[in-house]
Amino acid sequence: MSQVAVPYVALGLRARRIKHELLAAIERVVDGGMYILGPEVQEFERRFAAYCGTRYAVGVADGTSALILVLRSLGIGPGDEVITAPNSFIASASSAALLGATPRFVDVRREDMNLNSDLLEAAITPRTKAIVPVHLTGHPADMEPILKVAERHRLPVIEDAAQSVGTLYHGRRTGGMGYAGCFSLHPLKNLHALGDAGVITTGDERLYQWLLKARSHGLRNRDEVEFWSTNSRLDTLQAAVLCVMLDHLDEWIKARREIAAQFSAALRDVVGVPAEAPGSLHTYQTYMIQAERRPALLEHLKQRGVDAKVHYPVPIPMQEAARGLGHRRGEFPATDWLAERIVSLPIYAEMTREQRTTVIDGVRSFYRA
């Protein structure tokens, strides 16, 4: 049996493989001298919008700021409610809470771990101001029914596409289906900077024009400030890096899909493997299994050098930060069920054949024993 160590990520290895391209891009920024909103930012925005099939893209500091800015553009604040998924990264909900609004959670489906559209309408109140479905792990949320409910109630849909760059839903890329798409370009994402970064996609001209000002202090021009805002600009150096990364994105996604197919074929008789709904293209930002006896499985994998993680063991409504919302365990049964079983296995394009075998053997040997 193979005993090759498998770290959860191999970011340094990836960067080393394309180091000459990254350093050349960085050198161009260094020599160009335009360090704030330099030409690389616009180049990345143009290319990213084309990639997502949206009219516009606006680079920002990170994925959390992307969500906050888009919610702010709608004037969301105290007294308002924003609907999202309870099993996401905290920013899906904290973005609303930080503006003084109340996050409202709708349980997910076990199969794709995304917002259960059958439960959505019942969660809408006169205070609801936006719906924020999350495309968790790189699998698209079931957007068609979500968009229909939103349209019926005249509510904007903001896609939390932080984990889903490149993901397809019936031929459409995530980020292009609602009012706006918010992407994180954090190093753990399929398209990533060498640090924090984010981007917003939209087809809405007014939102686009507002974002260009809102990400830079509300400045209309060098001297005039149209409204109070903050600094949330995408760094020029990171934009240059992202242009290089974008050249490789499709090959990385292809490799992840191949590894995921291999994992799923080898593991489906011992654990729940990720579903891919008809019409969806899953990009496997995370390869998440649903496993019984998780604590023992994690220990077994650790003994064999496989670094697995749990995203996320504590659902957002159960976080201490959310105590004021008054939620209790059992309100979101699918989320609770998943929180006890999900395991993220290592997956990246640079994984060797031996490492893949180590992961597969690690999981299989646990359940065979």
Ligand X SMILES: Cc1ncc(COP(=O)(O)O)c(C=O)c1O
Residues that bind ligand X (CB under 6 A): 62-64, 88-89, 91-92, 134, 160, 162-163, 184, 186, 196, 198
Name the minimum Å distance from CB 311 to ligand X. Answer: 8
Q: Which is nearer to ligand X, 186 or 300 (CB)?
A: 186
Residue 160 or 355 with smaller CB distance to ligand X: 160
Beta bridge pairs of residue 198: 60, 184
Sequence-distant contacts of 72-75: CB under 8 A, at least 24 apart: 72/99, 72/214, 73/180, 73/207, 73/210, 73/211, 73/214, 74/129, 74/130, 74/156, 74/179
Q: Indicate the residue among 68 and 351 with the shorter CB distance to ligand X.
A: 68
Shortest approach of ligand X to residue 161 CB, angstroms?
8
Q: How far is the CB of 182 from ligand X (least distance, A)?
A: 7
CB of 197 to ligand X, least distance (A): 7
CB of 338 to ligand X, least distance (A): 15
Helices then strands, each counted (H, E), the chain: 12, 12
Q: Which long-range contacts (CB under 8 A, 24 or more apart) does 267-273 make?
A: 267/360, 267/363, 267/364, 270/363, 270/364, 270/366, 270/367, 270/368, 271/343, 271/363, 271/367, 272/341
Residue of this chain nearest to ligand X (CB atom):
63
Pick from 338, 335, 274: which is nearest to 106 by CA? 335
From the CB of 79, what's the least distance to ligand X, in Å?
24
Q: Which is nearer to ligand X, 231 or 303 (CB)?
A: 231
163 versus 355: smaller Cβ distance to ligand X:
163
- The residue (of 32 and 195) whose beta carbon lies closer to ligand X is 195
CA 69, CA 64: separation in Å to the nearest integer?
9
Angle made by CA atoms 46, 201, 89, in degrees to the nearest 5: 130
Q: Is 356 helix (H, G, I), strand (E, B) or coil?
A: helix
